[in-house]
Structure 1
């Protein structure tokens, strides 16, 4: 199958992040619209195999529960747990900060937050949660993203969740983003002072790109 061309906006230096996100979401929709179950399973397997190759043993790994249009992480979570690693996943609060809990095999993401609007979660909801600073104990952090450039600048969804969360991580722990093949940026993406760069990305073909 012919691989899609990588993200290559004509005026990256002049475009706003909002424009880039709009284009990236449209590209992602186009990349995923025609995928059948077999293609999605192949992508999930490729991502899991690629990430497992560079996970220290044993490790504590932060992943995320993928949305339907994101690179699939269910197989990765299951493979990490089967290999004896500890896996944590985020819960997005209504202020767009990230809490963390232990992963459950087979869980998938959704776009809802789990807290009451403007309030703290109930004690029962927080049972077993690990705190907003749980990344400090992780050996590897796997993040979502819409694109990554050659410097490790990551284009996220715009809420700033991961930029804030990554400030808690151990500086020695690598941070990698999962992308559909074709979503990597060939030109530099805009970066603000609060943006946290990633160390590389892994695509749905199993390609691992180390940037730093």
Structure 2
């Protein structure tokens, strides 16, 4: 089985496992993730501009009200992605205007918060398979923290990686925040 097949199989397994998490449990997990994330962000100074995502489906943060990007707005301007036709990501401020700022806007943030289905101890992140975030993360300046939100059981010893995969530097789960990778 090749890396892509391994990733496809693991992705399907993790999506199925997430669907099995009861709503009340997911709400508790999301509240714990938000608490750990905000603690982590308070340690980063300055954090005046950050990129985040708008959770959908079973992604961590989906049950939060107000939504995750709005919650993170206390730290500064929050950019959220707009998916382009070629599956790359443009960025826009999480506000009423939703004016596209261009794919390179992510290079000017102090922190990036990304969705993940799993993260390996090396920092390799497993996403939904479109490669959108890997392309966007290639534009992030070296030294900028990249934080994946996930559930505790989704931290794995190893995630199958490919050459184009961009690692994350930290993960935040209900059990807490931790650095990963080199």
Unaligned runs of 5+ in 2: none
1:52 aligns with 2:43: no
Q: How do 1:1-40 and structure 2 match up within 5 A?
A: 15-36=2-23, 38-40=24-26
| Among candidates 123, 140, 153, match of residue 111 of structure 2 | 140
Aligned to 1:121: none
Give the secondary-structure state (helix, strand or coil) at the position aligned to 1:95.
coil
Aligned to 1:87: 78
Instruction: Identify the structure with the greater strand proportion.
Output: 2
Unaligned runs of 5+ in 1: 1-13, 106-125
1:76 aligns with 2:68: yes
Q: State the shift of 1:51 in Å.
A: 1.2
Poorly superposed stretches of 4+, deviation over 4 Å: none
If you compute each CA radius of gyration, which structure gives the higher value, 1 or 2? Answer: 1
Aligned to 1:196: 166
Aligned to 1:171: 142
Distance of 2:84 and 2:106 partners within structure 1: 16
1:209 aligns with 2:164: no
Aligned to 1:120: none
Give the secondary-structure state (helix, strand or coil) at the position aligned to 2:164.
coil
Change (3 A) 1:194 1:24: closer
Paired residues of 1:29 and 1:69 also in contact (CA < 8 A): no
Q: State the shift of 1:151 in Å.
A: 0.8
The two structures have a TM-score, normalised by structure 1, of: 0.73
Aligned to 1:6: none
Aligned to 1:117: none
Deviations 1:92-130 (A, max 9, x none): 11211001111259xxxxxxxxxxxxxxxxxxxx96111
Instruction: Identify the structure with the greater helix proportion.
Output: 2
Aligned to 2:130: 159
Q: State the shift of 1:62 in Å.
A: 0.7
Tell me how large the CA RMSD over aligned residues is.
2.3
Aligned to 2:88: 97
Change (3 A) 1:60 1:206: farther
Aligned to 2:55: 66
